[in-house]
Structure 1
């Protein structure tokens, strides 16, 4: 079927051309080329020509970029695996703390992001210097099982995570949308990494069984070399796949966010009812107080996860009311926990653990309170959803600053 005459007759009728294109796109494309050769001076047909051929050009240009990015990702993945294995050797010799294994993964993820974003030199140098300083400092302080050292080990990943966010956002580090994309990346990364890790575990189980059948026990070698290499390099591969807009995670993440919030709210309400019923007292029960803080961190993570997956231009939905209720209950828990910690500080004195717990409690309370106020304005139609997302993204550097403070000062203050 040839519709060349139809196209010629309707060269000045864009509506008819569009209608025919949508009705028979393949036939339209084939017939259009013949018409274009005879009427290349037509401005309307020129627009159609670019429209019909743009995808091929875009695909060709994209292929080159993907190849370079893929090769660079592959190199980083291999280097990450090798570095992590070398670090494990020194950990086994008790020469360095196990937390050093993180330097076999995060710096290489940061390197990929910096390359992918074409970051400015000052950003690259800043991130490289901070990673280097963190690694050097961590291994200069005594490797001891003290509370201050354990706190430093726990807070270092948070600081490096914020540093990784700086690499991810690149030249747009001050923009809320870029920070929001980083939070979205984390959710998508975790889902994809977990999916690939499960596949890796199945492969490991099969490998162990196959070699076991022929009488070879390779468990120790396999886990210390192959599995460890895979765990590290897989993080780089997952970063690459998510950054290439993998549809699997982008389709799945919003649904997970909508499911987790109501489940978390139900669990929290049930837990509070039972805790009150059995007479648990956070002022006297240290383990119960620690659990309170763990709940706060989980609620904050779930809330942020849900907020980042919502459309900034979206309308109010049941999920927003669930999130608001979840945040309100969390603030109540946080307030009780804060009073209990102040009580313990005044009664038992200041220690590294208590000071760090009070600090993170105040940070989380401040963040949740800001988010709650933004939610109130949104639910009253006094502001858009972007204000809620701003309450999340603008607070991220504060967590990084606090984590850096604990990591770099507590081992010196609480010797």
Structure 2
């Protein structure tokens, strides 16, 4: 009988057993049952028995019982969809500002992270206070198109984003590794949500086409009651999937970072060279100055995303030199923007927009200097990549504090 079963013949040869399994896994599994029944005392076959049967047991358990995390996520996703739909009604009737839609999603993402991390009461109370106070304060402000109020609307999402970071890091908020994990999660989250959003748009187009064949226009109803609800609910689902170590986003993110960094660098170099010979001037053209700051933010985001995906490898790679070049380029852009802002302040006086842009540029300039110095030491083999990541993660609360200052203080100072 042993001659008819290759597993029995090679039960003392681990290498051959592994080769047989990889070549024909189904045939190997069938033959293994007979081999195990005849030789239950074989240690090598005992290891294979656990290997082949462990996954079946796990799948059976997960199929019969809904994980608690999944159940909590489902409830929060439904609540986020309902809350966002209600808020959208008031936004649509111009009763509240559109920025209120953030309160239909971000508090529920924060709630999921708090549940998963079992955060301390201090963290929970801080998060509750931030969301409650900012929500009340935001809606006490008059619905006017004034600069200080619009700046509050623009900076509030930054404050709430930092608050979600507190929920994600929980009791380890002060640790650089936890903050770095949150930054990485944002990149992976963006990739996954974009994939789901594209799928949703395809479904939307298909649905409109099908109802169009029946001469029925359901665009407005479908958008308000399905798209709005689904967009909010999927935000919670995406947070659940990414925080549950979904392999898709984690495998794609590093490659996107490596592809986009050199493309952004080459594009911006050509763009800046073109501008030198052009007629546009950020010192005199307000719109051009705003676009200049938009470019700065894009470079900063791409650079941080690339740094967070670079890992802890001490060996220098081509991407490190590209990141360093991006940081230097961002510093050049920021320095020009700072000079233009100072010029406009001295020429045209103080305004909420100029003060806000000045403050943001100073903060970014200081952060870029810190990152550049850390990268310089790393490229000279004086420090490891941890110093670069610290320059990114330790500065995050500064952006949150500035966003809070603009959100709460500017409407009072300039009105």
With the length of structure 1 as denominator, give the TM-score of the two structures.
0.89
Q: How does 1:5-404 map to 2 (within 5 A)?
A: 19=15, 22-24=18-20, 30=33, 38=41, 67-404=67-404
Q: Take 2:144 and 2:106, find their aligned partners in 1: how far apart are those partners?
A: 24
> What is the deviation of 1:115?
1.6
What displacement does 1:3 show? 5.8
**What is the DSSP-based 3-state SS (H/G/I as helix, E as strand, rest coil) of the residue aligned with 1:96?**
coil
Inter-partner Cα distance in structure 2 for 1:293 and 1:64: 53
Distance, in Å, in 2 between the alignment partners of 1:140 and 1:29 is: 71
RMSD: 2.5
Paired with 2:7 and 2:258, the residues of 1 have a C-alpha distance of 49
Q: Distance in 2 between matches of 1:85 and 1:38?
A: 63
**More moved, 382-391 vs 156-165:** 382-391
Shift of 1:20: 5.6
- 8 Å CA contact 1:109–1:236 kept in 2: the answer is yes
- 2:234 and 2:371 map into 1 onto residues whose CA distance is 34
CA displacement, residues 329-354 of structure 1 (integer Å, 9 cap, x when unaligned): 11012112111111211222111111
Q: CA deviation at 1:214?
A: 1.3
Deviations 1:127-173 (A, max 9, x none): 12211111111112222211000000000000000101111112221
Residues in 2 aligned to 1:409 and 1:385: alpha-carbon distance in whole angstroms: 37
Looking at structure 2, the residues matched to 2 and 177 of structure 1 have their Cα atoms a distance apart, in angstroms, of 49
d(CA) in 1 for partners of 2:199 and 2:10?
A: 54
Q: 1:398 to 1:63 in 2, by over 3 A?
A: farther
Distance (whole Å) between structure 1 residues aligned to residue 65 and residue 300 of structure 2: 37
Aligned partners of 2:33 and 2:363: how far apart in 1?
62
Other-structure match for 2:25 = none
Name the SS of the counterpart of 2:67 in structure 1: helix
Distance 2:191 2:64 in 1: 28
Task: Provide the rounded CA distance (Å) in 2 between the counterparts of 1:111 and 1:326.
Answer: 36
SS at the partner of 1:278? coil
CA deviation map 1:266-322 (0-9, x unaligned) = 111111111111143222222221121111111000001111111212521111111
Note closer, same or farther for the CA distance 1:277–1:65 as it changes in structure 2 (3 Å cut): farther
Q: Which runs of 5+ in 2 are unaligned?
A: 22-27
Shifted more, 301-310 versus 336-345: the winner is: 336-345
2:313 and 2:332 map into 1 onto residues whose CA distance is 30
Whether the 8 Å contact between 2:82 and 2:229 is mirrored in structure 1 is yes
1:49 Cα shift? 7.9
Q: Is the 8 A contact 1:29 1:52 kept in 2?
A: no
**Alpha-carbon shift at residue 233 of structure 1 (Å):** 0.8
Structure 1: where are the runs of 5+ without partners?
Answer: 11-15
1:13 equivalent in structure 2: none
Offset of 1:51 from its aligned partner? 7.2
Give the match's secondary structure for 1:268: helix
Shift of 1:212: 1.6
What SS class does the counterpart of residue 170 from structure 2 fall into?
helix
Task: Return 352-361 or 385-394, whichever deviates more.
Answer: 385-394
- Structure 2 counterpart SS, 1:284: coil
Is the 8 Å Cα contact of residues 261 and 306 (structure 2) preserved in structure 1?
A: yes
**Alignment partners' CA distance in 1, 2:351 and 2:368:** 26
- In the superposition, relative to structure 1, how do residues 409 and 63 fare at CA in structure 2: closer, same or farther (>3 Å)? farther
TM-score normalised per structure 2: 0.89
Structure 1 contact 3–31 (Cα < 8 Å) conserved: no
Whole-angstrom CA distance in 2 between matches of 1:381 and 1:73? 45
Partners of 2:49 and 2:123 lie apart in 1 by: 42
Q: Say if 1:275 and 1:56 are closer, same or farther in 2 by CA, change over 3 A.
A: same
